[in-house]
Structure 1
């Protein structure tokens, strides 16, 4: 009996050993993953250094040209060549200064700041330069070429004829009326027959003609005339060099 009890005490439980083996499997897998990640990942994190190569020269050139443009605008310069040459000179000087700044500093962020500032001021500098060099006419400026003084045009009275050398209101000597002679009487106006043609009605000058006598359709007569008359050109102080084409379409008489 004592030997049997001792044998029971040292016997292992097979179910407990299987459970411990199942529990240790996931733990071993997680430990392996953590070990692999720690091996691949860098042990210490550090910031990457900014390379200053070229940034200081470019930023200095931009800032140099922009400073010159702003200075010329403050002094009221309006010549475009002055802005162009000044910007080129300022860019050259700024590029040299940016090179020395780039070589003299240990921090690579300083040249990067120069470049960022130069790029930010490009558009304001262009706007100011274009605004200062735009064309502004002088107050009260007029055309240098004087307008030719032309005599005023006299179209005359409608339906009359001009007689050169004879003042208005007088008759020629050969047609002077004889004292005491009866004056000729003009015949009464005749009315054209209704619906007939060949009467005394004047020919239409427009495509559609309306007057007290009726409605007419005819062939329009085009006319080419100057844009301004001589009096209008003299009053407006402009040169009458253009012409206009008039094509009458509707004519109404009351």
Structure 2
């Protein structure tokens, strides 16, 4: 899959560069009657810059340099030096076809240089790398700490694993009796103070036993409303 991606990347770059070469060929293909009218201005600089960058990057790709930064720095320095050289070529030659040839040569080497640089900087698998395989060792013993469950019959001659002892559950303390709701407005039982709803109580002033003991008749009824209850 990685090799297919690398080849696709190289072919895409080549297809993108071919229209540039075709356009240059269409512009520079002049008829013999107008061959002397070709202007060398700018062509030597561009051609020299291309040739300078390619002269640096192609040997680096042949040397299998994989650093993209090295290619960037080398191509930049080579293009600068080639552009300066192309400028002086334009100024010192009388034949205007020399800068045109420099530009044609620089464009012709664009595709080989790009393909070689991409081929050198593309990821390459390391030799000797293998895929992860399932462990071939014996299965873990389920009777030991950290062991796992093994499906199948145990090997012959191995003692059965000791049954695991279950620790005794701690005795459950008896549930505490639910606290009775307070029957007075304030109910203070150490160490808590509670508020409650007073429950009125209607009863005779003297009970039957008190009436017989005291020899008095019934004196009516009374209403009791508990407000404060204190327990020590």
**TM-score, shorter chain, exceeding 0.5:** no
Q: TM-score range by the shorter chain?
A: 0.3 to 0.5
TM-score normalized by structure 2? 0.44
TM-score by length of 1: 0.40
